[in-house]
Structure 1
Amino acid sequence: MDILIVGCGWVGTHIATVLVGAGHRVWATCTSVEKAQRLGAIGLTATVADFDREGEHPRLGREVFDVAIISVPITRKDGVDIVHRRFAGLVDFLDQLSFNQSFFFGSVGIYPKVSATITETTFSDADLEPKLLLGETALRAAYPNLNVLRLGGLFGFERVMAKYFVGKVCEIGYQTANFVHVVDIQGIIAAMIAAGSQGKTYNVVCPEHPLKKEVIAASAAKYGHGLPTAFSEADQTAKVVSPERLIADLDYTFEYRSPLKF
């Protein structure tokens, strides 16, 4: 297959490495020459593209792809005007291409911070985080068959939760974890490609939701990191994002059912 990864960051690089190893041809965009060189070294055809800049976007040397995976982030510091411009530029870039199947990496941060079990249909659009919703709707308007994957907190390999809290007071330890291992993101995309999925919205998180303090303790023990100096009990939000829809639709078995196993 010919596959395009737009915004090839940490998750995209793992997916691309697996795809290239399986014999697929992979193109990618990234935001720096240095990153393009690193992607080229693992077998990708990489091009630098900045969708925040107005003007002509780069050509890839190919216009027809089997699959497009779009991983263009929206951060807390981004203003609505920046998100509008970024996704307008992204759609302009994608409009010069064609693809049979497409994926967009959203975030479970789109849901309100509440103590509840949350499915893809729990909230109306009015209750969702506006900037994250803007990204999804801008792409869905242009590509109605887009698959939206709302990813949990991203971990795996060198990304170990404990190392971010060594010697610190952890303010989030009593929150429930909505995390996912990068291996399962790749596995879910592979399952959706095999199924020919179109127009789906899925929560992509581990089925099990321990407290974050338990995840920190488990990863500290496994990888030899120190512990936080303390865990604040001020925030005990029990937000549980459910992946049951994708499990049922795809008959998917998570390799990492719990972040305690990362």
Structure 2
Amino acid sequence: MDILIVGCGWVGTYMATALVSTGHRIWATCTTAEKADRLEALGLAAAVVDFDRGGVFPEWGQKTFDAVIVSVPITRKESTETIHHRFAGLVTFLGQLSFNQSFFFGSVGIYPKVSGTITETTFAAAELEPKLLSGETMLRTAYPNLNVLRLGGLFGFERVMAKHFAGKVCEIGYQTANFVHVVDIHGIVMAMMAAGLQGKTYNVVCPEHPLKKDVIAASAVKYGYDMPITFSDADRTAKVVSPVQLIADLDYRFEYRSPLEF
């Protein structure tokens, strides 16, 4: 397959490497020449595209891609204007391409911080985080067949939760974990490609939701990091983002059912 990864960061690089190793042809965009060189060394066709700054887009319009994976970030710290400008440029870029299937990596941060089980339809649009929703909406409006994957916290390989809290006070230890391993992100995208799915919105999160303090403890033991000095129990938000819908639709079996296995 010919696959384009737009915004080839940590997740995209893992996926690109795995896809190239299995014979797929991969194109990618990134924001620096140094990253483009590293991607080229992995066997990708890479181009520097910064949607915040604009500039000239690569001339890939003559190709038809089997799939386009969009991994362009949104953070709450950014202004609405910045996000709108970025995604307007992204829509323009995608508009010059031809592709059969498309994916956008969003975030479970789009859901309110509440205790309870959350599916893709639990909240009305007005209840979702407006900046994160704006990116999804701009892309879905332009491409109604877009698949939106709302990813949990990203972990795997060198991304180890314990390293961030070693020797510190951890204030989130009693929250439930809504995490996902990068291996499962890749597996879910490949399963959706094989099924030819269009226009889906899925929560991409481990089915099991231990407390974050237990995830930290397990990864500290496994990878040799110091434990936090203490865990504050001030925040006990039991937010549980459910992947039940994608499991049912794809009959998908997670490689990592629990963050305790990372």
* TM-score, structure 2 normalization: 0.98
What does 1:21-170 correspond to in 2, within 5 Å?
A: 21-60=21-60, 62-170=62-170
Is the contact made by 2:61 and 2:96 (CA closer than 8 Å) also made in structure 1? no
Amino acid of the structure 2 residue aligned with 1:161: M
Amino acid of the structure 2 residue aligned with 1:79: S
Amino acid of the structure 2 residue aligned with 1:91: V
Amino acid of the structure 1 residue aligned with 2:229: T
1:64 CA displacement: 1.5
Q: Which runs of 5+ in 1 are unaligned?
A: none
SS at 2:101's partner residue? strand
> How far does the alpha carbon of each residue in 1:102-147 deviate from its partner, in whole angstroms, 9 at most, with x for none?
0000000000000010000000000000010000000000100000
1:63 CA displacement: 3.0
Aligned equivalent of 1:220: 220
Aligned-pair identity in percent equals 77
Q: Which runs of 5+ in 2 are unaligned?
A: none
Are the structure 2 counterparts of residues 22 and 178 from structure 1 closer, same or farther at C-alpha, using a change threshold of 3 Å? same
1:56 CA displacement: 3.8
SS at 1:225's partner residue? coil
Amino acid of the structure 2 residue aligned with 1:99: F
Please tell me the root mean square deviation across aligned C-alpha atoms, in Å: 0.9
Aligned equivalent of 1:180: 180
1:53 CA displacement: 1.8
> How far does the alpha carbon of each residue in 1:17-72 deviate from its partner, in whole angstroms, 9 at most, with x for none?
11100100000000000000000111000000000124543324753211000000
Cα distance in 1 between the residues matched to 2:54 and 2:33: 19
SS at 1:216's partner residue? helix
Structure 1 stretch displaced more, 129-138 or 59-68: 59-68
Cα distance in 1 between the residues matched to 2:104 and 2:126: 21
SS at 1:180's partner residue? strand
Aligned equivalent of 1:240: 240
Displacement over 2 Å in runs of 4+: 54-63
Is the contact made by 2:61 and 2:98 (CA closer than 8 Å) also made in structure 1? no
1:17 counterpart = 2:17:
yes
SS at 1:183's partner residue? helix
Is the contact made by 1:87 and 1:138 (CA closer than 8 Å) also made in structure 2? yes
Amino acid of the structure 2 residue aligned with 1:226: D
SS at 1:193's partner residue? helix
Amino acid of the structure 2 residue aligned with 1:88: A
